[in-house]
Amino acid sequence: MKRAKMKGSHPLLKPALEAAALAALLCCVTAAVALVMGLSGQRLMTLYCVNLCAVLAFQIFSGNSGIVSFGHTAFMAVGAYVSAWLTMPTALQRTALPNLPAWLAGHELAVPLALVFVLLAGLALAALSGMPIARLNGASASIATLGFLIVVYSVLAAARDFTRGNQAFYGVPRATDITLALIFAGLFIVAARLYKDSRYGLMMRAVRDNETAALTLGVSPQRMRYVAWLISGGLATVAGALYGHMLGAFTPKDFYFHMAFIYVAMLIVGGMGTVTGAVVGVGLVMVLQEVLQEFERGFTLGPIQIPEIFGVPIVGVSLAMLLVLWLRPAGLVGFVEFAQGWFGKRRLPQVPARETNTGTEPLRIERARKSFAGLTAVDDVSFTIEPGCVTGLIGPNGAGKSTLVNVITGLYPLTSGAVSIGAQNIGVLAPDAVARAGVSRTFQNIRLFTGLSAGENVAIPALARGASLGDALATADSELAFVGLEGAGQKRADGLAYGARRRLEIARALAAEPRFLLLDEPAAGMNPEETDDLARRLKGLPQARGLGLLLIDHDLKFIMSMCDHVVVLNRGRLIAENTPAGVQKNPAVIEAYTGTRASRVSAQHNVEETATTKPRETT
C-alpha cells in the first residue's frame, strides 16, 4: 500500500541537533583545556580528538551491532600508511622508501586531499573484508575481526618495500593539529549519531537485540552488518590517517593489540550503545592512563618506596573495564544521549487512512513435513489460510503448532512439502524473504527489540519494506494506537508491562502490512479484560485490511469466538479441520483433549464446556 507524503520535519533533524550540541560542548571543553594548560593542553586535546574519531568509528559497528570488533585498528593502520605514501615529501620518500613502486611514489598531496583517497581505500578494504564477517554474529564475528587484524598486521610488517617493516616509518607530515582534529571529531560525532538513528542504524540495532525477530520482519542481518562494517571501516581509516599525521613516525605495532584493547575499553567504559558514551569513555580512560603512568614510574607511600612497576596503566584500565561491566553493563552513560529531549519531539507526517488489501490468493500448506534428527514434529499437514478470514490452529501441548508456524515463516526449512501464496512457493525462501512476500508473525515467547523504543520497534518492519524513516515512524504511531498503546512510542520496549509488550508485538507485525498474519498465542498471560479487549480489536481485522489471520492459542473460548475455521493438530498430524462448532463435535479432537475414548456424548459435553467456561491457560 502506498502512503501519501505529508509535511513534517525530517526525522533525523532532532538527532542532528543533539549531535551538534555535543560537538559544541566538545569545542568549549577543548578551548578551556588549551587555554588553561597551554601547549600541553593542546597536545592532550589533539590526542583526545583523534582517539575519539577512532572510538566513534568503532561505535558505529560495535555499538549498533553488539559485536566487539578488534579489527578496526587494522583499518587505522592502512589509513596511516596510505596517507603517508600520498603526502610524504618526494625527496625524503626516495631515501626512506627507495623501492616504492612508481605508481605510488612522488605524489606529495595536501593532507585534506589525501584523506579523500584514504577514505576510498578504507571503503574498498571494508567492502572486501566485510563479506565473510557480515555472515557471522556474536563471538564468532569478534574472532573474525581479530583474525583480520592479525592478517593486516602481518602483511604490513612483511611488506618492507612499502612500510619499512617493523622499522619506524618516518617523514610523515605532522599536519594533525588541534584545529584539524577538533573539526574531524565534530564531524565524526554527527556522522555516528545520524547513522545510529537512520533507517540502517535502527535495523542494525534491531538485529542486535533479536536477530530472529528481525529476520521474520524482513530485515537482512547480513546486509545490516555489512553496511555498518563498511561505514565504520571507512571512517576508521580516516582516523588512522589523522593519528599517523599526529605522530609523524610509526610502525605496524602501534596499531596492534594494545591499541585495539584500549579503544574497546574506552567504548565499554563510556557505553557502547551511545555516541555520548564514546565521548565520555575516551576522556575517562585517557585520564586514568595519565594518572597510572605516574604510579608506573614508582612513588613513595609514607616511609615505603614503591619501585617502578611495568604495566600499571594497562592493568588499571582492565580493572576499570571489568568493574564497569560488573556494576553497569550498559556503560557509565547508559542509553541516554547528551541533549536528548532538548529539541522537542520528532514532528512526523500524518498517516492517511489505510487502504484495504484486495489480495485474493490464499496461503496454502501442502503436505508439510518437518523432522529433527528422526523426530517428526510436523507430519504431512495440509490446509489453507484464506484472506479475509480468521483461521484457528489448536492442539494439545507438543502438537507441533509453533513448529508449523516456524516452517511457514521460513525459520525452519521444510523436510518435504510446500508452502505457497498463489503461484509463489515461499517454502524455499529465507525468513526475511518470506516476510517481504507478505507473511508476518508474533512469537509464543515475546521477542521485542528491547534496546529500542516502542515506536522504533514498530517502525522496523515498515523500514524493511522500504518506507521512509518519517513514514515508518508515523506508521508506528498509527499501529500503536490500533492496539491501545497511544502515547507509548517514546517508551523503551523493556519498560512496558507484560500485556503491553504482547500488544506491541502485534502492532509491530501489523506494520509490515502483511497479506497473512500469524499470531502465536497472542493473549497468553493476559487477564480476562485484556483478552476481551484484544479480541475486540482483532475480530474485524481480516475484513478491514483484507488479510488472512492464523490464530494459535490454548484458550478454546478465545479461539471458538474468534475463528471462522479451525484446524486441529495432534502429535504433528492434522486430525480435524472444520467450523468451530464442527471441531467441538469431532471424536478425534475430543480424544486428543481428554486423552480417553469416552462416549461421544460425554466427551462432547466436556469439550463444549471447556470452550465456554474454562479459565484461560498461560504459557
We report the CATH number of the domain holding residue 407 as 3.40.50.300
- Long-range contacts formed by 397-401: CB under 8 A, 24+ apart: 397/554, 398/571, 399/569, 399/570, 399/571, 399/572, 399/592, 400/370, 400/569, 400/571, 400/572, 401/520, 401/552, 401/569
**Alpha carbons 520 and 541: distance in angstroms, whole number:** 16
- The tens digit of pLDDT for each residue in 275-306 reads 999 999 999 999 999 988 887 776 666 677 66
Residue 348 lies in a domain: no
Is 378 within 8 Å of 419 (Cβ atoms)? no
Residue 423 lies in a domain: yes
Residue 268 lies in a domain: no
Same domain, 552 and 593: yes
Question: Does residue 219 have a pLDDT over 80?
Answer: yes
Asked which of 495, 511, 527 is the last residue of a domain, the reply is 511
- The tens digit of pLDDT for each residue in 496-550 reads 999 999 999 999 999 999 999 999 999 888 888 888 899 999 988 999 899 999 9
Same domain, 241 and 372: no
Residue 412 lies in a domain: yes
Cα radius of gyration rounded to whole Å, the chain = 30
Domain hosting residue 499, numbered range: 453-511
- The tens digit of pLDDT for each residue in 233-267 reads 999 999 999 999 999 999 999 999 999 999 999 99
**Confidence class of residue 3 from pLDDT cuts 50, 70 and 90?**
very low
More confident site: 557 or 485: 485
Listed in sequence order, the residues at least 6 apart from 152 whose beta carbon sits closer than 8 Å to its beta carbon are 71, 74, 77, 78
Residue 280 lies in a domain: no
Same domain, 519 and 506: no
More confident site: 292 or 57: 57
Same domain, 475 and 604: no
Residue 218 lies in a domain: yes
The overall average pLDDT reported for the chain is 90
Asked which of 479, 496, 511 is the last residue of a domain, the reply is 511
Same domain, 492 and 419: no
Residue 488 lies in a domain: yes
Predicted confidence at residue 351, as pLDDT, reads 58
Same domain, 604 and 467: no
Same domain, 540 and 507: no
Same domain, 462 and 422: no
Predicted confidence at residue 619, as pLDDT, reads 33
C-alpha distances (whole Å) from 198 to each of 127, 180, 421, 559 are 20, 27, 33, 40
More confident site: 609 or 91: 91
Predicted confidence at residue 590, as pLDDT, reads 86
How many domains would you assign to the chain? 3
DSSP 231-257: HHHHHHHHHHHHHHHHHS-B-GGGGSH
- The tens digit of pLDDT for each residue in 350-400 reads 655 555 555 679 999 999 999 998 799 999 999 999 999 999 999 988 899
**Confidence class of residue 349 from pLDDT cuts 50, 70 and 90?**
low
Question: Does residue 608 have a pLDDT over 90?
Answer: no
Same domain, 530 and 555: yes
Question: Does residue 485 have a pLDDT over 70?
Answer: yes
Same domain, 382 and 477: no
Asked which of 255, 278, 313 is the last residue of a domain, the reply is 255
Predicted confidence at residue 179, as pLDDT, reads 96
Residue 370 lies in a domain: yes
Same domain, 145 and 218: yes
**Alpha carbons 225 and 126: distance in angstroms, whole number:** 11
- The tens digit of pLDDT for each residue in 185-203 reads 999 999 999 999 999 999 9
Query: Which among 356, 421, 355 is positioned nearest to 386, based on CA atoms?
Result: 421
Predicted confidence at residue 200, as pLDDT, reads 97
Mean pLDDT, to the nearest integer, of 468-474? 92
3-state secondary structure of 57: helix
3-state secondary structure of 519: strand
Same domain, 465 and 520: no
